[in-house]
Amino acid sequence: MENKNYLFPDFDKLIFGGDYNPEQWRHTPEIWDEDMRLMKLAHWNEATLGVFSWAELEPQEGVYDFSVPDAIFEKAEKNGLKIILATPSGAKPRWMAEKYPETMRTADDRHRALYGRRHNHCFSSPVYREKIANINRLLAKRYAHSPALLCWHISNEVNGECHCEHCRRAFVEFLRKKYDNDIEKLNLQWWTRFWSHRYDNFEQAEPPSSIGENAVHGLTIDWKRFVTAQTADFMKHEIAAIKEYSQKPITTNLMGFFTGIDYRELAKTVDFVSWDNYPNWELPWGDVGQASWIGMTHDCMRSLKRKNFLLMESTPSLVNWKDINKLARPGKMRISSLQAIAHGSDSVQYFQWRKSRGSSEKLHGAVVDHYGKEDTRVFSEVAALGEELEKLSAVAGTEVISKAAILYDWDTIWALQDMQGMQKNGKKYGEATHLHYGAFHRRGINVDLIGRKDSYDEYDVIVAPMMYICEEETAGRLASFVRQGGTLVGTYAMAQVNENDLCHLGGWPCGVLMDVFGLRAEELDTLYPEESVKINAYGEEYTAKDYCEILKVKDATVLGTYGSEFYKNTPCFTVNEYGKGKAYYVAFRDKSGTFTDKLIGEISADKKLPTAINGKEIPKGVTAKIREGAGEKYLFLLNFSGKEQTMELDGEYTVITTGEKISSAYLPLNGGLVLKA
């Protein structure tokens, strides 16, 4: 058990389970015993209880009914099932909205919503806060000492914003604090003399609105930060109530690259991250790109705390909310689940155990169908995976260790969203990130997705695609990373604005970065979608799309030039030796990815970044990932290529489930192997 970072002190296996809503079946409680029987057959060791169950727990204000969770906890204890207990704030009872309308959310047009749906509460409402703290306390007190309780799950996929007066007041206080109660500081950072939008005092501040202020970028980005801060504050409020009675770890389920909340900030409130993964598998053009994108999302979630995470939700078969709800083909759910583990998850969990009979999610995939029995394809695949995960227990607590990082910031997402310029709608920051990620991923090189304010110490390579927001301080930290021997890759649109979206004066990329890269980016050309520009580099011809920046090179070595347009023959790809390190600058967006692949390949070789399989080719569409710890190394090979594959390995490995020794791997369509080195 040494050298392993288990998420739970008292659980050393992979978690296998998911959302369980017994309250929907309280009129037929015999089904709960059938659930226990079936869960055993499915090899479930965990159930997530209580998501959206407030109206069951507190049917009327101050009237409580814990009979459902009591019954399930008792059964869980008897059956050795662990419970992840959710707090119910994701949806509120009807009485609350009736009696306390302020608990409902107010939209940006300042209209308050009617009761309905979920995720519809105001994060600032004192009544809502009082009510949630109360019910959380009761839950914590009641179940803290159950041996079945594994951890706490706060709310569900927290998201959204509220524009009510309570929230506006909290925003005013947030601004006061940020700008030291000095309105002129705010006026300067928000550049409010533009269009005569000056503020005389903080009281005048209003959240951005479709019917009001929405053009002041300093305001819009501060509002998004406020929404994050207020959500985190609400989360802390919920957690404090739990902690009064229970010290079990706390998580909340995130949504990957959801843009509404800065997940780096939110993650600080919990002990570990969990997330809900619903990929678009079975695409007509194949799943290679999607597999890499999902890999990147797992890595982003893991990097939030640089710690293993839980896959809190995934579907055993299909979802019901996409435009096209296709079935996962046989084997796909298994490799999709193993992919999460390969990237640092210590669980495979589903939404949901049993299909609900009515309402909007009745056709969403579940382990148990309306049919109700175990002889279905989906149930069999789930049970088989459960059995396999039991044999993979030793993987739990081992880690994904990365020497390369990509900078990925919610601040930049928001500023690029607001920016009027470049391609106005859709700057494709995610695509730019994935372009670089894919080149590492393809080679089986582990990558973290870190924030610009995180530590750079553990990395040899940092890629900063479209790093539009960069304050002088961050520029200085990047400079010292390179000075000490790191390799940095910057691209077009780098370090143009400060943290308040105010343009840097004196040249881009800002401050010391011009020395680090040995150049200045002077103008940025945006192309029409059907246009492209030729690139000459590495003795080959490549193609740029979307963006071409024009550079004034000072000290950098020119490695590539534009091959067309009025900037033909001017530099578009450079490297600069700075201190003990190197800084590459890519001034254009690579159209096909072949240029980026070559660049990342060279850098990875130069910095000797560890790869999953040394010196052997990984077939396109096969994920190869390493998890390690306690002196053991596990190699995951997952075939998303859409056809069968055979590949040479860099030595002899043991197939964990069978004990077979292999030095080359055969992977059928949608097949996967977990090997021990």
Instruction: Return the number of the residue (157 or 399) whose C-beta is nearest ligand GLA.
Output: 157
Q: How far apart are CA 259 and CA 17, in angstroms?
A: 28
**Taking the CB of residue 412, how many other CB atoms lie within 10 A of it?**
24
Contacts of 255 (CB under 8 A, 6+ apart): 157, 159, 275, 276
Q: Which does 104 bind (CB under 5 to 8 A by kind): Zn ion, ligand GLA, none?
A: none
Q: How far apart are CA 625 and CA 292, in angstroms?
A: 12
Q: How far apart are CA 576 and CA 582, in angstroms?
A: 6
- Do the Cβ atoms of 509 and 496 come closer than 8 Å? yes
- Among 313, 381, 388, 471, the active-site one is 313
Binding mask 149-188 for ligand GLA (x = CB under 6 A): -------xx-------------------------------
Task: Give the total of residues touching ligand GLA (CB under 6 A).
Answer: 9
CB of 375 to ligand GLA, least distance (A): 25
Contacts of 205 (CB under 8 A, 6+ apart): 168, 171, 172, 175, 199, 219
Find, among 638, 674, 665, 646, the residue nearest to 291 by Cα. Answer: 638
CB of 225 to ligand GLA, least distance (A): 25
Instruction: Return the number of the residue (90 or 518) whose C-beta is nearest ligand GLA.
Output: 90
- Among 58, 102, 157, 471, the active-site one is 157
Instruction: Return the number of the residue (174 or 653) whose C-beta is nearest Zn ion.
Output: 174
Instruction: Return the number of the residue (162 or 310) whose C-beta is nearest Zn ion.
Output: 162
- Which amino acid appears at position 359 of this protein? S
Find, among 19, 131, 153, 155, the residue nearest to 64 by Cα. Answer: 131
**Catalytic status, residue 540:** no
Site for ligand GLA (CB under 6 A): which residue of 364, 434, 589, 625?
364
- Which amino acid appears at position 48 of this protein? T
**Taking the CB of residue 423, how many other CB atoms lie within 10 A of it?**
15
Find, among 94, 88, 93, 96, the residue nearest to 51 by Cα. Answer: 88
Q: Which does 167 bind (CB under 5 to 8 A by kind): ligand GLA, Zn ion, none?
A: Zn ion
Instruction: Return the number of the residue (122 or 624) whose C-beta is nearest Zn ion.
Output: 122
Q: Which of residues 90-149 bind Zn ion (CB under 5 A)?
A: 122, 124
Task: Give the total of residues touching Zn ion (CB under 5 A).
Answer: 6
Q: Which does 162 bind (CB under 5 to 8 A by kind): Zn ion, ligand GLA, none?
A: Zn ion
Q: Which of residues 319-358 bind ligand GLA (CB under 6 A)?
A: 319, 351
Q: Which does 157 bind (CB under 5 to 8 A by kind): Zn ion, ligand GLA, none?
A: ligand GLA
**Catalytic status, residue 165:** no
Q: Residue 254 is inside which H or E element, if any?
A: strand 253-254
Exposure of 541 by Cβ count < 10 A (0-12 exposed, 13-18 middle, 19+ buried)?
exposed
Q: Which does 379 bind (CB under 5 to 8 A by kind): Zn ion, ligand GLA, none?
A: none
Instruction: Return the number of the residue (313 or 525) whose C-beta is nearest ligand GLA.
Output: 313
By the rule CB under 6 A, 313 interacts with ligand GLA: yes
Please give the residue ranges that form the binding site for ligand GLA (CB under 6 A): 156-157, 276, 278, 313, 319, 351, 361, 364
Return the active site residues: 157, 313
Please give the residue ranges that form the binding site for Zn ion (CB under 5 A): 122, 124, 162, 164, 166-167
